[in-house]
Amino acid sequence: MPTAGRSDKLRIGVLASGRGSNLQAVIDAIEAGSLQAQIALVLSNKKDAFALERARRHGLTEVFLDPKPYTGQPDSREAYDRAILDLLKKHEVELVVLAGYMKIVTAVLIKAYENRMMNIHPSLLPSFPGLDVQKKALDWGVKLAGCTVHFVTEGVDEGPIIIQAAVPVLEGDTAEMLSARILEQEHLIYPRAIQLYAEGKLKVDGRRVVVAGTGTKGTEALISPA
């Protein structure tokens, strides 16, 4: 039974470390009505993350949680994640959305939010996990790059894939040019993945995410070079 005055929309908690353009895409989708969710909390491990400023501009609850007091402890990363978990619980977060959160998440959070924590990564996983992935894609000579939204598991960038977008690599691309085109797609697929979750359409079956209602739509191949 929802509490009086409290919206029953999916409550999401966004963890971000940087400029927060994916957070902005989620905010915009909510404000445009294409994403039925509410942002209960924006949390950053970086005091000057522009993501926090974006949250303030939209009147959202935002928190900078300083990792420093937790360093030096034998289980410092877990202790930090326990503090995050307390905040997520306090704000009744149902789905955790990692949006450029550049800190390894430990089992403390992953177990508490099993199949309820998403990440976006700027490559077509399982190709190019980790960092500097657009440069790695160019160095490898792939013709299609892209981005992936996946559930978070303990293996970094390894969780079950929810949605991907492919982006052609063009002649003369730099890592910055390719990143910019991938980012445009990130901003489309992240809100979409969250909306699918909000609608209860995602079912994790081992490594696979079964997406209800997708049928055989979108069978056209993207060929690169065209």
DSSP letter for 17, please.
Answer: -
Compose the 122-161 pattern: x for residues touching ligand GAR by CB under 6 A, - for all others.
x---------------------------------------
Tell which one of 11, 13, 15, 22 touches ligand GAR (CB under 6 A).
22
Q: Please, which of residues 76-105 interact with ligand GAR by CB under 6 A?
A: 99-100
Beta strands in the chain (DSSP E): 10-16, 37-44, 62-64, 95-98, 117-121, 144-151, 161-168, 202-205, 208-211
Q: Which is nearer to ligand GAR, 22 or 88 (CB)?
A: 22
Q: Which is nearer to ligand GAR, 98 or 108 (CB)?
A: 98
Piece of the chain touching ligand GAR by CB under 6 A; list 35-43, 61-69, 115-123, 216-224 = 115-123
Listing from the earlier edge strand, what are the strands of the sheet with 95-98?
A: 62-64, 37-44, 10-16, 95-98, 117-121, 144-151, 161-168, 208-211, 202-205
Rounded Cα–Cα distance for residues 105 and 101 (Å): 9
Q: Which is nearer to ligand GAR, 72 or 155 (CB)?
A: 155
Q: Which is nearer to ligand GAR, 81 or 186 (CB)?
A: 186
Rounded Cα–Cα distance for residues 68 and 171 (Å): 44
Type and span of the H or E element at 81: helix 76-90
Tell which one of 18, 67, 160, 168 touches ligand GAR (CB under 6 A).
18
Question: Minimum Å distance from CB 207 to ligand GAR?
Answer: 19
Which stretches of the chain bind ligand GAR, using CB under 6 A? Answer: 16, 18-22, 99-100, 120-122, 183, 186
